[in-house]
Structure 1
Amino acid sequence: MELILWIGFYFLTFYAFLPALISRIFGFRVFMRGQSANEVSLTFDDGPDPVYTPKLLDLLKRYGAKATFFVVGENAEKNPDLIARIHKEGHIIGIHNYVHHTNWFMRPRTVKRQIHRTSDVIKRITGARPMYYRPPWGIVNVFDYANLGYLQIVLWTSLFGDWRKRVGADKLYKRMRQKLKPGQVFLLHDCGITFGADRDAPAHTISALERILDDGRDMGYRFVGIDEMIAITEEAKNGKNGRRKAARRTSMNRSDSATEISHSIGPLKKAIVSLWMLWEKIFHVLFRLHPVGDGKFFNYRIRRYSGPPIDLRGEQTLRSGDHIMEIHFENKMLFDLGMNSKSTLQIGIRIIREMERALPNMARELATALNGEKVKALYGVSMIHRGSESLGYQNFDLPRGLFSWMTNVYLRILMRVIHPAGNQRVRDKGDSMNPRMLLMTRDILLTWADESRVKRRPDRARKSVETQEVAAAEFEEGTIGKLV
């Protein structure tokens, strides 16, 4: 059952949850907010609708406003005259899938087929293929970034719940008026036949929109298609980038001899780190992790081992069903460690030191933890292979299978995130980076229990120094520690 949970968790995280969150929060590979002085973009989803789309077009024409319509392919096929009118009156037509289904639960090939089919419908009617795409509910999957590279994915800045009839025109107007500012991309609906929508809700949308168009005209705003908003935004960004580069050159000239310890990261890495921290919180709840000591570096859980028999020291054998104490590294501290270290050597030494400091607390946890008396071994998975023996660990190859593959992928992503030169390390030495199981028998772990209260034995101190040096050298070889 736990394996099924792991598979489902990895699938939802990497296929759907992470891409959607990255796009929504950080705007990765999507457009959702403009930079303009006087322009606002109105976008409409789910149509065309034979009742409400004509009324909406009449309203837009009366005010000289342009909009973007993300159409559902099957609706476009049923109403070709409306598609032709939208195109003729200078509005932008985008794709909203052939049917209104979320991309989370469709295979990449199915999403691609839906988009191509809708594009073909629009091409037959207007003579031109769409350049813009908005997935239903704004949900992308990881393959959308690659498969839809020829389309600009468009999300939104503000949405207002206008698909529900009970919101009403007055409340809808107040919500829209509050958000009426330059650069906004409004998400509205001209069709109410999709799942969860009310059939006549667009009537309220049109009523509220008329008042918004009045207000916008009085404020000197222009309502433009998404193509113009993107063009204006790109022009504004290019101007800002030029000024930033000039300022950066000046700053570098002033402090060209200074060296920064804290490594800067770009928007994509920030997105990955934020999602990584969120993922850890969810993981802690799902698998009921407990802190080791103050919990700043390590957490643990006690579970049953499931895998092939492993021969341990002292003629002991770990078998499937035996209890283990599984150790997990705290992601935030690991990231801070990577970002605030001068070199990979410093990171490697610090990781070994923190492990050594944590072992006495891990040993004492066995006395109070539920099923602690049944634990046969301390267990973790790490990319630090050498040096761990001096602390009392044995290391073993991970059994081949799905877990091994997923762990390898995860640790490579981790390497790219926290290592100052992680991308280059993975490219150059990826073949030699393989996670291994680290196991310490219960008897050896318990010898650490009084480590903080008695004087360290000379042999233990000597081994500690050797451990740090060996592990640091190993780290320089291109590996990084992460217990999962």
Structure 2
Amino acid sequence: MELILVLGFYFLTFYAFLPAIISRIFGFRVFLKGKTDREIALTFDDGPDPLYTPKLLDLLKEHDVKATFFVVGENAERYPEIVARIHEEGHVLGIHNYVHHSNWLMRPKTVKRSIHKTSDVIKDITGTRPMYYRPPWGIMNVFDYANLGYLQIVLWTSMFGDWRQKIGAEKLYKRMRRKLKPGQVFLLHDCGSTFGADRDAPANTIAALERILQDGHQLGYRFVGIDQMIELTEHRKKMRKERASSQIAASDRMGKEAQLQVSHVKNNKPTIGPLKKVVVYFWLLYEKLFHLVFRLKPVGDRGYFNYRIRKYAGPPIDLEGDTTLRSGNYVMELHFDNEKLFELGMNSRSPLQIGIKIVREMQHALPDFARALGPAPNGEKVVALYGVSMIHRGSESLGYQTFDLPRGLFSWMTNIYLRILMRVIHPAGNERVREKGQTLSPRMLIMPRDILLNWANETESLRRPNRKSQSTIG
């Protein structure tokens, strides 16, 4: 049962959690925000609605503005005349799945089929296939990146909770007014029939939007479709790149690049940008969730390691002596604290130095692991200390044996997880993974119980058991 829970946790992480972070933080394969001087994009989800979408179209026509409608396929089939009007009046049509279900709750094939079906519906009505897609609730799975390569995925810059009627038109207007600025992609709704929405909430949206359109015109802003917003943004990015190239060329001529290199050598302190800081924040948040779900316990007073006791679920492994680790045997599973690992990585000059420091910290922690074994629940049944790591050379000097992970889903997910971790914990992690991509592989580190217990009485000098001489770490 625990193996199923672990595999489920890994699966959800890579199927859903990481794609959500990557798309939202890095904007990978999605459009989030425009780079424009005075343009704003209004986008509407969940329609068409027979009552509110025509009223919204009347308002947009009155103010001569364009918007984008991400329609639900089954609603588009039900009200084709409204979809036709949206198209005829120059607005952009996008896909919002055939039914309003989360991509996390559907198989990749089901998501793909839903999108194709909605695309067919829109083409039958308008004669043109849509080029834009917004997943319900902005939630994607990892397969969406591959399956939807022909569509531009569009998320948003600001949403306002306008699907709830109790907010009221006045509060909704104030929320929208605070975000009224160029480059914004507003997420609004023209239908209240989806799960969790209030049927007549769009009435507030239309009332608040009327005032927003008036304010926008007074400020000199333009409301455009998402197609024009993306086009203007790409043009601005191109112009910025050209200007940056010119500035770099000028800097080269003046010798500024050489001065920067000298300054970097003097400081020689690793730094991370704001995006990576956000990634690290969410990574550590994820680790806290992992600790909570699997009830990890800290060991020792240095804070580098945690552990849990669980049943081993892999193939039999022959250890030194007469010990064989079999499926169903208890193991003491060790976990390196990722916050400490990140601090260690930022204060190390290279992945090699990270590996050396990890082995040293493990050397300090082994007596604590040994002493924690006795009072721990099922501690008396533990056969071995067990861990999985991509940095494992040198561990034999401490009493570990290393083994390849059995090939399969768990091995594949662990490999990806540890490669991402390598990229996160050190500024040179990207280069390390690229250069050593074929040789970097996670391995099981296993220490038989009797060798672990030998560490229980180790002194502060950290004498190791009588084993092979210490090997090179790398």
TM-score scaled by length of structure 2: 0.88
Instruction: Specify the alignment match of 1:33 in structure 2.
Output: 33
Structure 1 stretch 162-171 or stretch 61-70: which is displaced more? 162-171
Amino acid of the structure 1 residue aligned with 2:290: F
Instruction: Specify the alignment match of 2:446 in structure 1.
Output: 439
Distance 1:320 1:374, change over 3 A: same
Task: Tell me the CA shift for residue 419 of structure 1.
Answer: 6.3
Q: Distance in 1 between matches of 2:90 and 2:193?
A: 25
Q: Distance in 2 between matches of 1:148 and 1:256?
A: 42
Q: Is the CA contact 2:160–2:187 (under 8 Å) kept in the aligned structure 1?
A: yes
Distance 1:25 1:246, change over 3 A: same
1:224 aligns with 2:224: yes
Instruction: Specify the alignment match of 2:9 in structure 1.
Output: 9
SS of residue paired to 2:261: coil
Instruction: Specify the alignment match of 2:69 in structure 1.
Output: 69
Distance 1:457 1:104, change over 3 A: closer
Instruction: Specify the alignment match of 2:257 in structure 1.
Output: 252
Instruction: Specify the alignment match of 1:329 in structure 2.
Output: 336
Alignment of 1:346-425 (within 5 A): 346-418=353-425
SS of residue paired to 1:193: coil
Structure 1 stretch 407-416 or stretch 154-163: which is displaced more? 407-416
Q: Distance in 2 between matches of 1:456 and 1:207?
A: 72
Instruction: Specify the alignment match of 1:235 in structure 2.
Output: 235
Q: Distance in 1 between matches of 2:134 and 2:287?
A: 30
Task: Tell me the CA shift for residue 320 of structure 1.
Answer: 4.0
Task: Tell me the CA shift for residue 215 of structure 1.
Answer: 1.7
Task: Tell me the CA shift for residue 7 of structure 1.
Answer: 2.0
SS of residue paired to 1:186: strand
1:158 aligns with 2:158: yes
Task: Tell me the CA shift for residue 309 of structure 1.
Answer: 4.2
Instruction: Specify the alignment match of 1:194 in structure 2.
Output: 194
Q: Is the CA contact 1:261–1:342 (under 8 Å) kept in the aligned structure 2?
A: no
Distance 1:385 1:197, change over 3 A: closer
Distance 1:294 1:241, change over 3 A: farther
Q: Distance in 1 between matches of 2:235 and 2:357?
A: 46
Q: Is the CA contact 1:35–1:182 (under 8 Å) kept in the aligned structure 2?
A: yes
Identity of aligned residues (%): 70
Distance 1:384 1:19, change over 3 A: closer
Distance 1:253 1:45, change over 3 A: same
Amino acid of the structure 2 residue aligned with 1:356: Q
Amino acid of the structure 2 residue aligned with 1:252: E
Instruction: Specify the alignment match of 2:290 in structure 1.
Output: 283
| Unaligned residue ranges in structure 1 (runs of 5+) | 476-484
Instruction: Specify the alignment match of 2:185 in structure 1.
Output: 185
Task: Tell me the CA shift for residue 58 of structure 1.
Answer: 1.0
Task: Tell me the CA shift for residue 133 of structure 1.
Answer: 1.0
Q: Deviations over 1:103-150 (max 9, x none)?
A: 112222222222222222222322322121111111111111122122
Q: Distance in 2 between matches of 1:27 and 1:267?
A: 14
Task: Tell me the CA shift for residue 304 of structure 1.
Answer: 3.1
Q: Is the CA contact 2:38–2:221 (under 8 Å) kept in the aligned structure 1?
A: yes
Instruction: Specify the alignment match of 1:176 in structure 2.
Output: 176
Q: Distance in 1 between matches of 2:464 and 2:369?
A: 22
Q: Is the CA contact 2:25–2:275 (under 8 Å) kept in the aligned structure 1?
A: no
Instruction: Specify the alignment match of 2:111 in structure 1.
Output: 111
Amino acid of the structure 1 residue aligned with 2:288: K
Task: Tell me the CA shift for residue 274 of structure 1.
Answer: 4.6
Q: Distance in 1 between matches of 2:84 and 2:323?
A: 77
Task: Tell me the CA shift for residue 394 of structure 1.
Answer: 2.1
Task: Tell me the CA shift for residue 185 of structure 1.
Answer: 1.2
Task: Tell me the CA shift for residue 193 of structure 1.
Answer: 1.8
Instruction: Specify the alignment match of 2:101 in structure 1.
Output: 101
Structure 1 stretch 417-426 or stretch 384-393: which is displaced more? 417-426
Distance 1:431 1:22, change over 3 A: closer
Q: Is the CA contact 1:327–1:379 (under 8 Å) kept in the aligned structure 2?
A: yes
Task: Tell me the CA shift for residue 19 of structure 1.
Answer: 0.9
Instruction: Specify the alignment match of 1:53 in structure 2.
Output: 53
Distance 1:23 1:418, change over 3 A: same
Task: Tell me the CA shift for residue 327 of structure 1.
Answer: 0.8
Q: Is the CA contact 2:451–2:465 (under 8 Å) kept in the aligned structure 1?
A: no
Amino acid of the structure 2 residue aligned with 1:277: L
Distance 1:21 1:408, change over 3 A: closer
Instruction: Specify the alignment match of 2:458 in structure 1.
Output: 451
Q: Is the CA contact 1:262–1:341 (under 8 Å) kept in the aligned structure 2?
A: no
Amino acid of the structure 2 residue aligned with 1:341: S
Amino acid of the structure 2 residue aligned with 1:435: P
Alignment of 1:72-151 (within 5 A): 72-151=72-151
Distance 1:243 1:376, change over 3 A: same
Task: Tell me the CA shift for residue 102 of structure 1.
Answer: 1.4
SS of residue paired to 1:187: strand
Q: Distance in 1 between matches of 2:58 and 2:462?
A: 84
Distance 1:244 1:277, change over 3 A: farther
CA RMSD of superposed structures (Å):
3.0
Task: Tell me the CA shift for residue 42 of structure 1.
Answer: 1.0
Task: Tell me the CA shift for residue 15 of structure 1.
Answer: 0.9
Q: Deviations over 1:258-288 (max 9, x none)?
A: 4475566788866764543332111111111
Task: Tell me the CA shift for residue 336 of structure 1.
Answer: 4.2
Q: Deviations over 1:391-427 (max 9, x none)?
A: 1112234344443343334334434544666566656
Distance 1:45 1:400, change over 3 A: closer
Instruction: Specify the alignment match of 2:44 in structure 1.
Output: 44
Task: Tell me the CA shift for residue 350 of structure 1.
Answer: 2.2
Task: Tell me the CA shift for residue 184 of structure 1.
Answer: 1.5
Distance 1:109 1:209, change over 3 A: same
Q: Is the CA contact 1:68–1:91 (under 8 Å) kept in the aligned structure 2?
A: yes
Q: Is the CA contact 1:70–1:133 (under 8 Å) kept in the aligned structure 2?
A: yes
Q: Distance in 2 between matches of 1:228 and 1:402?
A: 43
